[in-house]
Amino acid sequence: MALTDSLTQLMKLGQTLMDQQTLMDQIDRVPLDGFEGRTVKPIPFDMADTPEALLVRAYLPGFQREDVDVEVRDHRLAIKAERRLPRRDDVTWLHVEAPYGTFIRTIGLGTDVDADHIEASWNEGVLTLRLPKAEGARPRRIPIQASDQLALDR
């Protein structure tokens, strides 16, 4: 009986995950305002948290550095890139699988960052960002002093 219950729960979980992926796929295909009705594709990224900064790597193979825009506003990082299919009068494209169009990723940062000191670098289609945390957002070690009184007794 326990094995049957476990398999049923696993199948329900699998269906839930498939439903979530289907929803995400549909969201990825929704045209956004301001992008001339084109489908916006997500940009894959990695993000790490250190006591001093957030570190982000966005993967944009085949893009040129000049085709990428980065903006930080309201605790959100926005990365936008555009790649157009080359147009030539003497060429008729028969099949195209390479991704072209507008690519965008908006990432919630969850903390205040010092926008004046953000560092961005580009290497072989990988955008690397270092977003220093604002002074007030950095963790602070609180020293504990010995006392023979409770704080509420003072």
* 15 lies in the same domain as 74: no
Quick one: residue 122, left, alpha or beta (phi over 0 = left, psi -120 to 50 = alpha)? Answer: beta
Mean model confidence pLDDT for the chain: 79
Calculate the CA dihedral of residues 84, 90, 95, 99 and round it to 10 degrees. Answer: -10
* 56 lies in the same domain as 17: no
> Would the pTM count as exceeding 0.75?
no
Give domain status of residue 149, yes or no: no
Domain count, the chain: 2
Q: In the chain, where do the E strands start and end?
A: 40-41, 45-49, 53-59, 68-73, 76-83, 101-108, 119-123, 126-132
* 64 lies in the same domain as 122: yes
Over 80: is that where the pLDDT of 66 sits? yes
* 16 lies in the same domain as 78: no
* 114 lies in the same domain as 68: yes
- Beta bridge mates, 68: 81
Over 90: is that where the pLDDT of 69 sits? yes
Predicted local distance difference test score (pLDDT) of residue 100: 82
* 67 lies in the same domain as 128: yes
Give domain status of residue 94, yes or no: yes
Q: Which domain holds residue 23?
A: 1-30
* 26 lies in the same domain as 55: no
Q: Is the dihedral of CA 83, 58, 124, 128 positive or negative?
A: positive
120 and 132 Cβ atoms separated by less than 8 Å? no
CATH number of the domain residue 114 falls in:
2.60.40.790
* 80 lies in the same domain as 4: no
16-30, 53-67, 130-144: segment of lowest average pLDDT: 16-30
Count Cβ atoms below 10 Å from residue 45 Cβ, excluding itself. 17
Give domain status of residue 150, yes or no: no
* 92 lies in the same domain as 64: yes
* 98 lies in the same domain as 49: yes
* 74 lies in the same domain as 131: yes
* 54 lies in the same domain as 105: yes
